[in-house]
């Protein structure tokens, strides 16, 4: 529902790119959750590999959306670093679809059943690592670097609002990106015997982004109420003084007048 709301906001105001990025991030989480559920309950190595091949696509969408959100919301990131992070992630997604069974695994030889949170699920048993996985790790390094750099530059602006955003959004996104990359790497190496759960840190990223956009909605609603109250008081003062007032909305080519103005100007 929130994805549709923010998508509608962007469709009404094409400059609200942060809202579009949030919608894409929600879309990526939905895709990741669905594919992770399929992989945990399949007994086929081929199906397991195919689900994670598409999971890398949704992961890429989530990364692009997160970096885009930071770019449009903070407006402090270095463009060259953003382009490098986005480009490397795009190359990683291409390698995911053109090498091995997915970016992490060249060949899955067998699956293994384990109990996880009280339920029997499938994880990779024996596999051959895809050497192109290093490209994904390099992309993750640069995407984290971009978020941290943009957050630091926002913090240096010094205003309380800038520092709050740097902490709530920048630190949260950096933490969850590091968590996602670390969990994925440890599971791939066999250090952690558990399913891939990249959707969980991305859910944290979505919550941090949604919290910040919700604050903007509340702030805009409060400003609208305050503006309406000021206009009402101004209209009452104009009526008491017998003043005719008018206002021209240039963008929409509309003219507003109070009651006295309409009687004077027609």
Distance CA 158, CA 71 (A): 19
* pLDDT for 17: 84
Full domain range(s) for residue 75: 2-221
- For 23-60, the pLDDT digits (tens) are 899 999 999 999 999 988 888 888 888 898 999 999 99
Q: Single out the residue of 165, 137, 138, 139 nearest to residue 152, CA to CA.
A: 165
Does residue 193 lie within any of the structural domains?
A: yes
**Span 197-202, average pLDDT:** 86
- In the predicted structure, residue 266 carries a pLDDT above the cut 90: no
Does residue 256 lie within any of the structural domains?
A: no
Helix (H) or strand (E) segment spanning residue 126 = strand 119-129
Does residue 253 lie within any of the structural domains?
A: no
Does residue 232 lie within any of the structural domains?
A: no
Distance CA 243, CA 87 (A): 60
- Number of folded domains in the chain? 1
Does residue 228 lie within any of the structural domains?
A: no
- For 87-113, the pLDDT digits (tens) are 999 999 999 999 888 888 888 888 888
Return the C-alpha torsion angle 66, 69, 71, 75, nearest 10: -140
Alpha helical stretches, state H, the chain: 2-12, 17-40, 45-74, 79-98, 133-155, 160-165, 172-189, 199-241, 259-265
Contact 144, 178 (CB under 8 A): yes
Does residue 265 lie within any of the structural domains?
A: no
User: pTM of the predicted model, to two decimals?
Assistant: 0.80
Does residue 238 lie within any of the structural domains?
A: no
Return the C-alpha torsion angle 20, 91, 153, 15, nearest 10: -20
Task: Kindly state the tokens that stand for 10.
Answer: 């962007």
- In the predicted structure, residue 171 carries a pLDDT above the cut 90: no
Instruction: State the pLDDT confidence band at 217, using cuts at 50, 70 and 90.
Output: low
Does residue 251 lie within any of the structural domains?
A: no
């Amino acid at each position: 529902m929130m994805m549709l709301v923010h998508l509608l906001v962007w469709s009404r105001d094409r400059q609200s790119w942060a809202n579009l990025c949030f919608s894409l991030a929600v879309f990526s989480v939905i895709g990741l959750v669905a594919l992770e559920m399929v992989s945990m309950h399949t007994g086929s190595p081929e199906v397991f590999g195919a689900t994670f091949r598409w999971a890398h696509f949704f992961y890429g969408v989530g990364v692009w959306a997160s970096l885009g959100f930071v770019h449009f919301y903070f407006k402090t990131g270095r463009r060259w670093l953003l382009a490098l992070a986005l480009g490397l992630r795009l190359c990683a997604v291409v390698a995911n679809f053109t090498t091995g069974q997915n970016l992490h695994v060249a060949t899955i030889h067998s699956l293994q059943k384990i109990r996880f949170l009280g339920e029997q699920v499938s994880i990779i048993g024996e596999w051959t690592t895809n050497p192109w996985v290093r490209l994904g790790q390099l992309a993750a390094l640069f995407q984290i670097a971009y978020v941290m750099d943009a957050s630091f530059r926002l913090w240096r602006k010094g205003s309380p609002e800038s520092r709050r955003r740097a902490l709530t959004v920048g630190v949260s996104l950096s933490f969850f990106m590091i968590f996602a990359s670390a969990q994925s790497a440890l599971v791939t190496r066999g250090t952690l015997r558990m399913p891939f759960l990249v959707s969980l840190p991305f859910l944290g990223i979505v919550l941090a982004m949604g919290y910040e956009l919700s604050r903007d909605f509340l702030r805009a609603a409060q400003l609208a109420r305050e503006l309406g109250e000021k206009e009402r008081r101004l209209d009452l003062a104009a009526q008491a003084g017998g003043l005719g007032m008018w206002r021209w909305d240039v963008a929409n080519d509309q003219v507003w007048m109070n009651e006295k103005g309409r009687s004077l100007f027609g």
